[in-house]
Amino acid sequence: MALPTIPEQGTTISPEQLSCLVYRMEAERRVISEIVHGLNQTANLDELLAGIHRALKKVLPAENCFVALYDAVTDTFGFPFFVDQVDPAPPPPQKVGHSCTGYVFRKGTPMLIPQSEFDRLAAAGEVELVGAPSPARLGVPLKTPTETIGVLVVQQYENEKAYDQRDLEFLSSVGGHIALAIERRRAEDALRKKEEMFRLLFSHNPLPTWVVDHDTLRFLEVNEAAVRVYGYSQEEFKSMTILDFPPEEEKIKMLSYLKEESGDGLYREHWKHRKKDGKIIEVETTVHKLEYSGKRVRLIVAQDVSGRHILEQQLRQSQKMEAVGRLAGGVAHDFNNLLMVIKGHTELLRNELPPASEYSRKVEQIERAADRASGLTRQLLAFSRLQILQPNVMNLNDVVSEMGRLLPRLIGEDIELVMRTSHSLGAIRADASQMEQIIMNLVVNARDAMPDGGKLIIETSNPELDSVYNDKHPIVRQGHYVLLCVSDTGTGMSLETQAHIFEPFFTTKAQGKGTGLGLATVYGVVKQSGGFIWVYSELGRGTTFKIYFPRVDQPVDRAIPAPTSSEAPRGTETILLTEDEHDVREVAREFLESGGYTVIEARDGTEALGLVEKHQAAIDLLITDMVMPRMTGQELAARLKEQRPKLRMLYMSGYSERAAAESLRSDPTVRLLAKPFTRSALLRTVHELLRNY
């Protein structure tokens, strides 16, 4: 119920009126006190506004009351509190517009607007009717020291004289308190929502997250992901510091880092952390310095990057091996050209010497040395995946079984040999002789790692590598494979040694006991065959090599016996010989002429094309080097094939060319001969091409 009105200043008042004045002033004081008290007692803005409304009704007619708060972003009023006898439902956000509320907000002054004043303002275009018409309105702006945040309105629908100037003054006096109360409560609500959001994000973050005291480094808050990943309980974390994570060798580094870390902002760093089970993981931490519950803290988010670190190591190792392979292939190619000259002239010289010549032994020594050098270049080419292979569809069990009969003599009696081959092993496309070389090299390494005896296990199987395996080994394609696994119970290897074992000339054996090319050769053959190889080893616990070859759904090729005659065949055809290395070309020419052939020589592809244009007679065979300046051997062959479709092709190369290998599979009139070759090998290949195709 509204209090009685107060007589105007300067009028004589009766004791009864004085009593009313004192009563009202006391009521107003209590209302203001109640509003201020409610600021500290209410839980949120809704409760605060409801309490203010209850207090106002003790002093003036406030059955119809609302608070309009301004949103500068949308230029609208929102209505967090709205009580009305005619329009019971709170309106949606409204543009400030020309409502009475908007008028009070724009003017920034308290206003008593009876119906007559509203009509005058409406006629002047200052206001327009919004909502139900009311004959009596009080509106006061809600001002903080810096801005106007909204409007407080009370109104009456029945009595135009429900409010007077004293009511306006009172509502104005409490408006400042109400504005500050609302602003403070809004700030507290916003802070509480932020804290709730932080708590929600903190708790549900899938990455381990901690709040750590800036000075003591103790854990203040720990999320569930940290408990799950590290294995410690919440209680255990609370008794620990961030320095309990790194291994001993990294603690000094972390302490130094924390001391040097200055300023606020964002920090990222890589660390090694030890989990409760003792496992060491690689983590990347993101650190924010901030205030939390009145304390300086560090908010730390940790991401386990052990898997990524392993993948990066695999990529770096692969790139390093590729680079070394290219270097090794180039060196081997140049050496093969030199060895071609040395071996070729040595063979020609031997054929010219009488059987009892005193120089025969010296020539044989040169040949043996050249053969050993050729073996080294073959291993380099195998490592660099540039050797010339003769792949066939084969069953790896056939090679393993054949090798199994020879290996006991190689490894000795103190090493137990165990063979476990799959009865339904799939087929692979590979060079059988190179598969033998792989097994031999791995077995020799295993034998040398077991000087006091042990067990050697050779296994084959048909694994299917899925997405889980691919996640850990992204360079591997999913699919069906044939696995060759060679394990020993020997001395094992350190991680540092494992990082280098496939590099050419790397060896842990004593000087003179190994070339360091065995595993490099294995690596190259496996890669050139489309497979991949992994090593698993620990010091004192042995070593396992796992080699995966892509499985092929084709029948196994039948073996074709090699020619047994030692006599090199002869012929009378005309051969175009193209080779940019003069000394190599000279040796090849002498080999061919010794077999009865007519040889036309060219130094490069351009010269060869010119000679063919001038030579109208038949040319039966093109022998060309693969790598030449200005025009490759393949480009030359393609040009000549257009002019002479029946022309046969024989490529010479110090290393394999993948494109040439494709031609070999698709065209039976094309052959590839690896340098250095013998006179007999050249003449047999030429004879086969000229006679069979």
Of the ranges 59-68, 304-313, 658-667, the best mean pLDDT one? 59-68
Least confident segment among 79-88, 162-171, 247-256, 509-518? 509-518
Kindly tell me if the per-residue pLDDT of 454 is higher than 90. Answer: yes
d(CA 576, CA 601): 6
Which residue has better confidence, 635 or 524? 635
Which residue has better confidence, 373 or 468? 468
What are the angstrom distances between the C-alpha of 52 and each of 31, 33, 92, 177, 531?
A: 8, 11, 22, 10, 79
- 1 band by pLDDT with thresholds 50, 70 and 90: very low
Kindly tell me if the per-residue pLDDT of 319 is higher than 50. Answer: yes
Cβ burial, residue 611 (10 Å; 0-12/13-18/19+): middle
Q: Terminal CA-to-CA distance of the chain, rounded, Å? A: 120
Kindly tell me if the per-residue pLDDT of 599 is higher than 70. Answer: yes
The pLDDT of residue 564: 46
Q: Quick one: average pLDDT of 508-529?
A: 71
d(CA 350, CA 366): 11
Same fold, 205-304 and 392-550: no
Give me the chain's average pLDDT, please: 82
Q: Please name which of 691, 646, 653, 647 lies closest in space to residue 672, comparing C-alpha atoms.
A: 653
CATH architecture of the domain 574-692 equals 3-Layer(aba) Sandwich (3.40)
Least confident segment among 22-31, 94-103, 637-646? 22-31
- 153 band by pLDDT with thresholds 50, 70 and 90: very high
Cβ burial, residue 499 (10 Å; 0-12/13-18/19+): middle
Least confident segment among 53-57, 91-95, 323-327, 591-595? 323-327
The residue ranges of every structural domain in the chain are: 15-191, 205-304, 310-383, 392-550, 574-692
The pLDDT of residue 59: 84
- pLDDT, tens digit (0-9, with 9 covering 90-100), for 563-573: 445 567 888 89
CATH match for 205-304 among 3.90.660.20, 1.10.3720.10, 3.40.190.10, 3.30.450.20: 3.30.450.20
Kindly tell me if the per-residue pLDDT of 378 is higher than 80. Answer: no
The pLDDT of residue 315: 60
- pLDDT, tens digit (0-9, with 9 covering 90-100), for 606-629: 999 999 988 878 899 999 998 888
Sheet holding 670-674, edge to edge: 598-602, 574-578, 621-625, 648-653, 670-674
What are the angstrom distances between the C-alpha of 300 and each of 266, 499, 685?
A: 10, 33, 70
The pLDDT of residue 10: 56
d(CA 573, CA 598): 6
Q: Which amino acid is at 134?
A: S
The pLDDT of residue 202: 84
In 3-state terms, what secondary structure has residue 667?
coil
Beta bridge partners of 574: 598
d(CA 315, CA 331): 24
d(CA 388, CA 561): 19
d(CA 116, CA 122): 10
Q: Quick one: average pLDDT of 368-395?
A: 66
360-383 vs 518-528: helix crossing angle, rounded to 10: 60
Tokens of 486: 């060679």
Q: Provide the CATH topology of domain 15-191.
A: Beta-Lactamase (3.30.450)
The pLDDT of residue 663: 53
The pLDDT of residue 403: 84
Q: Quick one: average pLDDT of 547-569?
A: 73
Instruction: Establish how many alpha carbons lie within 13 A of residue 655's alpha carbon, considering only the half-sphere containing its beta carbon.
Output: 25
The pLDDT of residue 659: 46
What are the angstrom distances between the C-alpha of 661 and each of 385, 387, 389, 651, 676?
A: 12, 11, 9, 10, 18
Tokens of 199: 């708590």
CATH architecture of the domain 310-383 equals Orthogonal Bundle (1.10)
Neighbours of 300 (CB within 10 A): 20
Does the domain formed by 392-550 have CATH 3.30.565.10?
yes
- 601 band by pLDDT with thresholds 50, 70 and 90: very high
| Residue pair 32/174 in contact by the 8 Å Cβ criterion | yes
